Structure 1
Amino acid sequence: MQTQTVDIRNKVVEEDKPWKDFMRSFLRHRSAVIGSVIILFLILIAIIAPVLTPFEYSAKSNDLMQSPSANHWFGTDEMGRDIFTRVIYGARISLWVGFFAVIGSIVLGSLLGLIAGFFGGWRDAVISRIFDILLAFPGILLAIAMVTILGPGINNAMIAIAIINIPTFGRLMRSSVLRIKEEDYVLAAKAMGMKNGRILFHHILPNCWTPIMVQGTLSFATAVIEAAALGFLGLGAQPPEPEWGTMLADSRPFIQTAPWTMIFPGLAIVLTVLGFNLLGDGLRDIFDPRMKQ
């Protein structure tokens, strides 16, 4: 009985070891930690936005174009709206757009990549040609065309951003599946008569998540930039929604007379992109076996 208890404890320790190794490597990686702190900070201020400011993001006042002060930390815009409030609430929109777009592109791209890589043949040819067509156009131009067809709005912008990022995850998943499906344990599962669905979701997919997770973190930063670009062109969030790209577009006429109207939304975009890029680079280094030397 004592021997069985020791074996069980050793098994639990072995199962926990990968998670502990990951956390140990993560905490030692400065870029990953800094990126995580920035992201958690942005998520926190997005959640408690109503507590941080006494103003409504769409509330107008007579304090037009005031420079930063004790009453208005980031100043006010041409309509007297508090810029600090609008930047804080803008974090909600940008984070939601990035989350929706990345999750959507991961789900659709990974599913198509799984089918193409595992089954091959005409399925692989058709899906790969779809990826090639989407990649033939610059991403932002394709997003502009889609939003123009669907109509301006934050929801259509999220859909467009998700679609243009599908090939990135699809091709990454396909290449991983092509490599993993030749492994001995997958070939053994096929020889035992295991169904394709079980092989895909129990043997192949769990071993493909590492590059997808790293790319998803980096794509989050790209999605924020693309959402800001669409907002800057008037195709994203519509007034009075406090989206950072829209705020930059509205502040263009006042870049010399009231530069604070452009500086703070721009810094918010830079901080968000920096946080996700640092986290993505950190995860890439942690999961890369060549970096463990």
Structure 2
Amino acid sequence: MSAHIQPVPFTKPEPPISPEKEIVESPFRDFVRAFLRHRSAVIGSVIVLSFLLIAILAPFITSYEYTARSQALLQAPSVDHWFGTDEMGRDLFTRVIYGTRISLWVGLFAISGSIIVGSLLGLIAGFYGGWRDTMISRIFDILLAFPSILLAIAIVAMLGRSLSNALLAIAIINIPTFGRLMRSRVLSVKSEDYILAARAMGMKNRRILFHHILPNCWTPIMVQGTLGFATAVIEAAALGFLGLGAQPPEPEWGTMLADARQYIQLAPWTMIFPGVAVALTVLGFNLLGDGLRDIFDPRMKQ
């Protein structure tokens, strides 16, 4: 008597995953999809990209030189001078446009320097601990004990009035922000199981630092860097307003605001347009930074 054989149910094999599906489900595509759904991030990026294009295409946007003078002193906005002219007859639209280059340049290099130095110090303090952590943390505490703008004024006063010294001062006062953020992130990451497993395998500290810990600490630094860019623009404008930043005839927004103070009733446009430029730039970077923070925050994901 033959044994009864149960029929094996036929299952349709799953189709192989196409390259298109892999791309759609990639982390980059997920980020782009989340970014486009975030209204604040999109608005902020449009503002930032607009100012970036203005800075790059400044010579093609206006036909005037930002140092060129005319007989039309304090002329109101017109067809020939869209933003009017200042007390020296210079085209205000041209100076605002070229001022975009200075503000973005200061923000980029100042925040880049702060991120590099602050992240390196925070990485060392958080990973090694001990006397290194104590010494670096005390340096951060000393820098944070002073109001940032007063510390920047003191640094520029010692080094001399110039745009480069203002850039250096802005970079120094922002180092503790990125250093403490990196330190706290490293303290959290180095206790993870994969870091303990890497130590158990005999992996060297340098490899653990730069191959495992650092890549997992960049997200908050990138978000803070975007927000810090807006802060750097304000600080550069504040130093320029006090006469400690860019020196005439450089078209820096803070310097333009300082020159327009005495004409605020006679020619209010000389102060309105540089002020609006500062406000829009800061708004764009703040919206972009807030959007990136919400996108990268796992608590915001459903």
TM-score interval for Structure 1 and Structure 2 normalised by the shorter chain: over 0.9
Aligned to 2:36: 27
Q: Equivalent residue of 1:165, what SS? A: helix
Which of these residues, 61, 86, 90, is aligned with residue 81 of structure 1? 90
Q: Counterpart amino acid of 1:90?
A: G
The residue type paired with residue 71 of structure 1 is D
Residue of structure 2 in register with 1:115 after alignment: 124
Quote the Cα distance in structure 2 between the aligned partners of 1:15 and 1:30. 21
1:44 partnered with 2:67: no
> Could you tell me which residue of structure 2 aligns to residue 59 of structure 1?
68
Could you say which residue in structure 2 is the equivalent of 1:140?
Answer: 149
Partner residue, 1:173 = 182
Structure 1 CA distance for aligned equivalents of residues 177 and 296 of structure 2? 19
2:259 equivalent in structure 1? 250
Following TM superposition, by how much is the alpha carbon of 1:201 offset from its aligned partner in structure 2, in angstroms?
0.6
CA distance in 2, matches of 1:47, 1:18: 31
* TM-score, reference length from structure 2: 0.93
Q: 2:113 aligns with which of 104, 110, 114?
A: 104
- Please tell me the root mean square deviation across aligned C-alpha atoms, in Å: 1.7
* Residues 223-234 of structure 1: pairs in structure 2 closer than 5 A: 223-234=232-243
- Name the structure 2 match of 1:220: 229
AA matched with 2:72: D
AA matched with 2:37:
R
* Cα drift, residue 279 of structure 1: 0.2
- Equivalent in the alignment of 2:134: 125
SS for the counterpart of 2:141 is: helix
The equivalent position to 2:201 in structure 1, one of 189, 192, 195, is 192
Query: How far apart are 1:195 and its partner, in Å?
Result: 1.1
Bigger radius of gyration: 2
Q: Which structure's residues are more often helix, by fraction?
A: 1
Cα offset, 1:193, TM superposition: 1.1
Deviation at 1:13, TM superposition (A): 2.3
Distance, in Å, in 1 between the alignment partners of 2:223 and 2:51 is 20
Q: What are the ranges of 5 or more consecutive residues in structure 2 without an aligned counterpart?
A: 1-12
Q: Which of residues 216, 233, 245 in structure 2 aligns to 1:236?
A: 245
CA distance in 2: counterparts of 1:54 and 1:276, whole angstroms:
29
Selected match of 1:267 from 276, 284, 296: 276
Alpha-carbon contact 2:23-2:29 (below 8 Å) kept: no
Q: Runs in 1 of length 4+ with deviation above 6 angstroms?
A: none
1:91-144 C-alpha deviation (Å, 9 max, x unpaired)? 000000000011000000000000000000000000000000000000000000
Q: Any idea what SS the aligned residue of 1:37 has?
A: helix
Kindly tell me: are residues 198 and 16 of structure 1, through their superposed partners in 2, closer, same or farther at Cα, counting changes over 3 Å?
A: farther
Report if the CA contact (8 A) 2:54-2:97 is conserved.
yes
Distance 1:44 1:77 in 2: 25
Of all paired residues, the percent bearing the same amino acid is 76
Q: Normalized against structure 1, the TM-score is what?
A: 0.96
Deviations 1:221-261 (A, max 9, x none): 00000000000000000000000000000000100000000
* 1:191 Cα deviation from its structure 2 partner: 1.1
Q: C-alpha offsets along residues 9-37 of structure 1, whole Å, 9 cap, x if unaligned? A: 59x92896111111000000000000000
Match of 2:8 in 1: none
**Structure 1 residue 8: deviation in Å?**
9.7
